[in-house]
């Protein structure tokens, strides 16, 4: 994050216009048969912003997109401060939910491995699967993998692949998934809000936004508990990934690769570079 | 640091505009609350810089924001009251706008990926969200809280 590059008026101006236009459009819900799809300003801003940034349109330079990515991290801090200020008065309620709040972190850390690793092995991935599924592969997780295996290792490529997909589509995908799960009626809004604390700024913001649109009467609770869960995920993140997630993924890989993995030479050839 | 402070102020102004257009809170009413949010964020950065304990900046900012709104902090009631004028969704929209504008930078890298890793990344994100939601829900049902 080089200081000077943050003063990019073109980027800030685009964001100002995007924010005003998208907030003006407001929330729109569409019924598509299996349920309503809730569209809200954050999503429009994300999608229109993405279209503006398409390299073929030549509106933004690569340098400007990198600046936007840097400012994204900084803008998340203001959001976090606002969530913290909602948490202070709700502390008794947070402690009241303490057991669930603590336990669901196991879900955050184990969820990527338990669901991801078997499917990765079934698809025929080899060591890439370890890097891809041991965590949600944001920047701190990439650093852990790079340090242990090197960025150019199969593990490093797996982690980088999920990182790239997450950066591009994570927020959009998770907010759609959040609105879908919210409408099943299976989960309490606070359970979903805790689930939204995945440990990535833009994803958490988009998910809590989607949930708040569907449960407007619980909007404040959603912000509080998504914020609290995200905070815990962030604090524990590096330690859990080094001492629990990575060893567990490696252990499960050794155990299940011979059972679920594909063995033919042809498949292995195909997977190089996957 | 100076550039970061300036950036906070710019984003604060953008969010105040969004808060006005989307949530009908006039900028004059939202300004004091936004100034407190920006000030707490800057203090969080400052503490992260000078503290001997290395914690992510997010943690410092959250803890500080939490502290100033708990009953042990003098004036917490008025801090809560003025910051309530800033809707949390209005602060999230700029984040996603910046995220959108950075989309193009990773497209080249994305085109090199195989389809398997794309599928797995969606599975990984589904896993972390679904399993934690499920555990929280089971916890609530067993303890009888919020149900």
The per-residue pLDDT for A3 is 45
Give yes or no: residues B58 and B85 share one domain. yes
Give yes or no: residues B19 and B74 share one domain. yes
A17 shares contact with chain B (CB less than 8 Å): no
What are the tens digits of pLDDT across the range A167-212? 999 999 999 999 999 999 999 999 999 999 999 999 999 999 999 9
State yes or no: pLDDT of A7 exceeds 80. Answer: no
Q: Structurally, how many domains does chain B consist of?
A: 2
Sign, CA dihedral A180-A183-A185-A187, equals positive
A99 shares contact with chain B (CB less than 8 Å): yes
Give yes or no: residues B124 and B72 share one domain. no
SS3 label, residue A30: strand
Give yes or no: residues B129 and B85 share one domain. no
Give yes or no: residues B29 and B83 share one domain. yes
Query: What sections of chain A are H helices per DSSP?
Result: 9-25, 41-53, 62-87, 91-96, 98-122, 128-133, 139-149, 154-165, 171-184, 189-195, 201-214, 219-240, 246-260, 265-271
The per-residue pLDDT for B147 is 66
Give yes or no: residues B78 and B97 share one domain. yes
Q: Residue A263 — pLDDT band, cuts 50, 70, 90? A: low
What are the tens digits of pLDDT across the range A163-173? 999 999 999 99
Give yes or no: residues B81 and B36 share one domain. yes
Task: Evaluate whether A155 touches B92 at the Cβ level (below 8 Å).
Answer: no
What are the tens digits of pLDDT across the range A64-93? 999 999 999 999 999 999 999 999 999 999
Task: Evaluate whether A164 touches B107 at the Cβ level (below 8 Å).
Answer: no
In total, the C-beta contacts within 8 angstroms joining chain A to chain B are 423
Say whether A60 and B104 touch across the interface (CB within 8 A). yes
Say whether A78 and B12 touch across the interface (CB within 8 A). yes
Task: Evaluate whether A22 touches A46 at the Cβ level (below 8 Å).
Answer: no
Give the residue extent of every domain in chain A: 3-271
Looking at residues A119-136, what average pLDDT do you find?
A: 96
Give yes or no: residues B87 and B20 share one domain. yes
Angle at B82 between CA B77 and CA B15, to 5 degrees: 145
Residues spanned by the domain of B39: 2-104
| Mean per-residue pLDDT of chain A | 92
Considering only CB atoms, which chain A residues are within 8 Å of B60? none
Among A64, A107, A241, the residue to mutate for chain B (most B Cβ within 10 A): A107
Give yes or no: residues B70 and B118 share one domain. no
Q: Which residue of B has its CA nearest to A208?
A: B89
Which helix (H) or strand (E) segment holds residue A31: the answer is strand A28-31
Instruction: Quote the minimal CA–CA distance from A34 to chain B in Å.
Output: 19
Give yes or no: residues B35 and B87 share one domain. yes
């Amino acid at each position: 994050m080089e200081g000077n590059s943050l003063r990019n008026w073109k980027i800030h101006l685009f964001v100002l216009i995007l924010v005003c236009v998208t907030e003006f459009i407001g929330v729109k819900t569409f019924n598509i048969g299996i349920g309503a799809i809730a569209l809200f300003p954050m999503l429009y801003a994300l999608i229109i912003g993405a279209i503006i940034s398409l390299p073929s349109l030549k509106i933004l330079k690569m340098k400007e997109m990198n600046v936007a990515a840097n400012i994204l991290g900084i803008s998340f801090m203001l959001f976090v401060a606002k969530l913290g200020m909602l948490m202070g008065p709700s502390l008794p309620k947070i402690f009241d939910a303490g057991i669930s709040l603590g336990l669901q972190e196991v879900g955050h850390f184990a969820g990527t491995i338990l669901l991801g690793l078997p499917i990765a092995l079934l698809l025929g991935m080899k060591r890439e699967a370890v890097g891809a599924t041991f965590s949600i592969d944001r920047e701190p997780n990439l650093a852990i993998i790079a340090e242990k295996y090197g960025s150019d290792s199969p593990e490093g490529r797996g982690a980088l692949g999920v990182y790239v997909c997450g950066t591009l589509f994570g927020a959009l995908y998770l907010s759609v998934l959040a609105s879908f799960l919210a409408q099943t009626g299976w989960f309490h809004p606070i359970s979903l809000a805790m689930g939204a604390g995945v440990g990535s700024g833009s994803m958490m913001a988009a998910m809590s936004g989607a949930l708040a649109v569907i449960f407007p009467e619980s909007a404040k609770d959603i912000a509080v508990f998504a914020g609290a869960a995200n905070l815990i995920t962030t604090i524990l993140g590096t330690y859990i990934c080094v001492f629990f997630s990575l060893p567990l993924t490696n252990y499960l890989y050794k155990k299940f690769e011979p059972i679920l993995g594909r063995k033919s030479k042809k498949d292995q050839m195909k997977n190089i570079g996957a | 640091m100076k550039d970061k402070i300036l950036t906070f102020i710019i984003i604060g102004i953008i969010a105040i505009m969004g808060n006005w257009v989307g949530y009908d809170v006039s900028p004059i009413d939202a300004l004091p609350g936004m100034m407190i949010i920006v000030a707490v964020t800057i203090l969080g950065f400052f503490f992260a810089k000078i503290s001997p304990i290395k914690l992510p900046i997010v943690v410092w900012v959250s803890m500080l924001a939490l502290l100033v709104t708990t009953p042990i902090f003098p004036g917490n009631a008025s801090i809560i009251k003025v910051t309530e004028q800033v809707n949390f969704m209005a602060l999230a929209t700029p984040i996603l706008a910046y995220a959108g504008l950075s989309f193009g930078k990773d497209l080249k890298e994305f085109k090199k990926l195989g389809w398997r890793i794309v599928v797995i990344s969606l599975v990984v994100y589904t896993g972390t969200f679904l399993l934690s939601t499920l555990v929280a829900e089971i916890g609530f049902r067993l303890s009888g809280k919020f149900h």
